[in-house]
Amino acid sequence: MSELVHPLHRFIRPSVKYSTFCPGCGDGTVTQAILRAIDGLGMNLDDFVFVSGIGCAAWIPSPFFNADVLHTTHGRPIAFAFGIKMGLPDKKVMVVSGDGDLVAIGGNHLIQNARRNIEMVVLCINNGIYGMTGGQAAPTTPMGIRTTTTPYGTVENIFNISRLVMAAGASFVACWTAAHPKQLTNSIKKAIQKKGFAFIEVFSQCPIQFGRKTGVGSAVQMLEDYKKRSISPKEAAKLSEEELKDRIVVGELVDLEKPEMLEEVKKMKNKARGEVE
Amino acid sequence: MNGKRVQTGRYFMMGNVACAEGALAAGCEFSAGYPITPATEVANRLAERLPQVGGAFFQMEDEISAIAAVVGASWAGKKSMTVTSGPGISLMLENIGFAIGVETPCVIVNVQRGAPTTGMPTVGVQGDMVQAKRGSHGDYEIIALCPSSPQEMFDHTVIAFNYAERYRTPVFILSDAFVGHMREEVVIPEPEKIKTEYRKIPEPGTDPQKIKGFLDEDVAPMPIFGRGFKAHVTSSCHDEYGKRNLIDISALDNFIRKLSNKILKHKEEITLIERDYEGAEIVLVSYGAVARAAAMAAAQGRKEGIPVGTLRLITVWPFPGEEIEKMARGAKHVIVLENNLGQIYPYIKAEAAHDAEVSFLPPRLVGEIQDPEDILRKIREVSK
């Protein structure tokens, strides 16, 4: 009998022998969605450069993906990705990182590059907590939740990340949860093909640091909760802000055609050359 | 301007502009920065000139993203640089450590200004000398060059790119507002007379699993992106293959030592010094703009019959301690001159004090270059 090999195994770095994710973590689902999207498009990992920051989600491409990967400092992957994309405009550049990385410490790079509408895919894996450091509150941790740095409950409002990136000017924004692996895979395919800043927020369950400590429950309970709270943009349009408070608006929220930065840079260079010639 | 990469000719040129032209002559293709006095003229010139030769300058949202983009572009295979002043360097330090940790060639120009904090932007102070060496966390070695004229802003920028490419490391130009804003004659040679280097990269088609792309004291080939090398580049502690190791202390020791030794092993080739102290009993040690005042005072002292000479550090980091020690063996007095409260002085004293009396002469006001008359007075005083 021949050895059974997972069809996506060829995308995994040969030196990687095990996963570093906790049992029940949603990041494995996201990992599969990314690789299925790339496989589905008939692409190769050599078509990509992956960039990640610090945190659990940053460990999806680093070290799993057998590709060019830059694992960077906390909050800055999009800024590093900017330089990579400018240097290798024909490669697909994909940033995979968490909500703390991209929205707390790195929030400015997120909105500034959405504004620039530079072609890259940014996957923000939102688990609503700092998992790697042991369950501290994030700008995505719902009000009132007890965490290790908010033992009496969080006292801050949260970011609606997808709305933030839409407002900043990204040309593609989608939001899904780990309970929507097929829809997520399809949106990643679209994001890869998008000429512009393509952002996908993925709610991903963290049963260990979020579920266990906050009493929300196991991975299964968290996924059930995601499903219950998810609502389409069409249905959401009928509800008030108050009614939407605990809901997750899932779907492709924005898909626009607008000037993309690399194209504008190309025109600028032609102009500069023309002026001196 | 003819739009060519190398603007061969003789010019009356500002130091900051000469720096930008040096970058182009060295083959710079990518620059990212954030506006700051007194460094803006470098960025302005790069913004105008780089697109003419197919490159580009990008104004980022802050200095953190500027150095991040520079490191990213370098991994994409482009010769890259950023330019800023002290406050910008303070913001860049974490990612400068990153660049060192993953061995990224890039040039960082610091046109130093009145500090600490927001300080006095238009005044030149040599206030960030130790920051360049010790500012980012952890043990590391850095290369830093100190130009003292617009011509050297050109020349040293070319050298900085060559060092960055040869040793796969960030290289500092530690200029200041005096040198940056000074206008003097600058001669830009013919392109074929300017030596430029490019990093070693692995042979195309090498099995990615066999590429040792990191931690070689003789500088590993750089598995730049987009060539199928499947490079795993992490600033976390890693081995020669780039594989992360967060559990084995011997891996950490190897990570720290190899990075440092890569620079220290080549210190002799990196060290640039101007020596004019043969037979001198008194030696003035300085660098940057202050070296101009030191040279003037020494010339005057010699006219008066005092055996005084100079040693000028061009490479301040890695610190050329052996050179200082060698000089001190033949001297009686070493006078250290800096436009600050004595940042490199302790390093010089540690090497020189065994053989000579070592003293420090600050400018009357920090932010002024020492008056040659004051230096001369000090020379006369110690020669008695």
Residue B5 has pLDDT above 80, yes or no: yes
Asked if A83 is an interface residue toward chain B (Cβ–Cβ < 8 A), one would say yes
Domain B9-193 matches domain B272-383 at the CATH topology level: yes
Asked if A109 is an interface residue toward chain B (Cβ–Cβ < 8 A), one would say yes
- Is B318 in contact with B171 (CB distance < 8 Å)? no
Structure tokens at B70: 């520079």
* A277–B76 C-beta distance less than 8 A: no
The predicted pLDDT at position A215 comes to 83
Asked if A259 is an interface residue toward chain B (Cβ–Cβ < 8 A), one would say no
ipTM surpasses cut 0.95: yes
The predicted pLDDT at position B1 comes to 64
Amino acid found at A137: A
Nearest CA in chain B to A276: B3
Domain regions of chain B by residue span: 9-193, 272-383
Q: How many DSSP H helices and E strands does chain B contain?
A: 13, 15
The predicted pLDDT at position A213 comes to 80
Amino acid found at B273: I
* B2, B32, B62: residue with CB nearest A276: B2
Q: What does the pLDDT average to over A12-21?
A: 93
Q: What does the pLDDT average to over A33-44?
A: 98
The predicted pLDDT at position A1 comes to 60
- Unique residue bearing structure tokens 């120009």: B109
Q: Which CATH superfamily is domain A14-276 in?
A: Thiamin diphosphate (ThDP)-binding fold, Pyr/PP domains (3.40.50.970)
Name every residue whose Cβ is closer than 8 Å to that of residue B262 and which is 6 or more positions away in sequence: B103, B141, B167, B168, B169, B216, B217, B218, B219
Q: What does the pLDDT average to over B247-269?
A: 98
Q: Which is it for strands A172-177 and A197-203: parallel, antiparallel or unpaired? A: parallel
- Is A50 in contact with A122 (CB distance < 8 Å)? no
pLDDT tens string B61-108: 999 999 999 999 999 999 999 999 999 999 999 999 999 999 999 999
Q: What percentage of chain A exceeds 70 in pLDDT? A: 99
Asked if A189 is an interface residue toward chain B (Cβ–Cβ < 8 A), one would say no
* B60–A79 C-beta distance less than 8 A: yes
Asked if A120 is an interface residue toward chain B (Cβ–Cβ < 8 A), one would say no
Q: What are the φ and ψ backbone dihedral angles of A118, each rounded to 5 degrees? A: -80, 140
Specify which residues A255 forms β-bridges with.
Answer: A172
Q: What does the pLDDT average to over A133-162?
A: 95
Q: What does the pLDDT average to over A196-205?
A: 98
Nearest CA in chain B to A67: B230
* B51–A272 C-beta distance less than 8 A: yes
> Residue A54, Cα to own-chain centre: how many angstroms?
13
Residue B348 has pLDDT above 70, yes or no: yes
- Unique residue bearing structure tokens 């968490």: A98
Q: Closest by alpha carbon to B265, among B217, B219, B222?
A: B217
Residue A277 has pLDDT above 80, yes or no: no
* B1, B29, B98: residue with CB nearest A73: B98
Residue B115 has pLDDT above 80, yes or no: yes
pLDDT tens string B145-167: 999 999 999 999 999 999 999 99
Amino acid found at A21: F
Q: Closest by alpha carbon to A42, among A182, A189, A140, A184?
A: A189
The answer to whether domain B9-193 has CATH 3.40.50.12500 is no
The predicted pLDDT at position B99 comes to 98
* A63, A72, A76: residue with CB nearest B244: A63
Residue B225 has pLDDT above 80, yes or no: yes
pLDDT tens string B165-194: 999 999 999 999 999 999 999 999 999 999
* A88, A108, A276: residue with CB nearest B52: A276
The predicted pLDDT at position A214 comes to 80
The predicted pLDDT at position B379 comes to 98
CA distance B70 to chain A (A): 6
Among A17, A50, A86, the residue to mutate for chain B (most B Cβ within 10 A) = A86
Among B232, B234, B243, the residue to mutate for chain A (most A Cβ within 10 A) = B232
Chain A residues whose CB is inside 8 A of the B72 CB are: 51, 70, 79-87
Domain regions of chain A by residue span: 14-276
B272-383 — its CATH code?
3.40.50.920
Q: What is the mean pLDDT of chain B?
A: 97
pLDDT tens string B37-73: 999 999 999 999 999 999 999 999 999 999 999 999 9
Q: What does the pLDDT average to over B243-259?
A: 97
Whole-angstrom distance, CA of residue B144 vs CA of residue A98? 36
* A84–B73 C-beta distance less than 8 A: yes
The predicted pLDDT at position B22 comes to 98
The predicted pLDDT at position B11 comes to 98
pLDDT tens string B315-334: 999 999 999 999 999 999 99
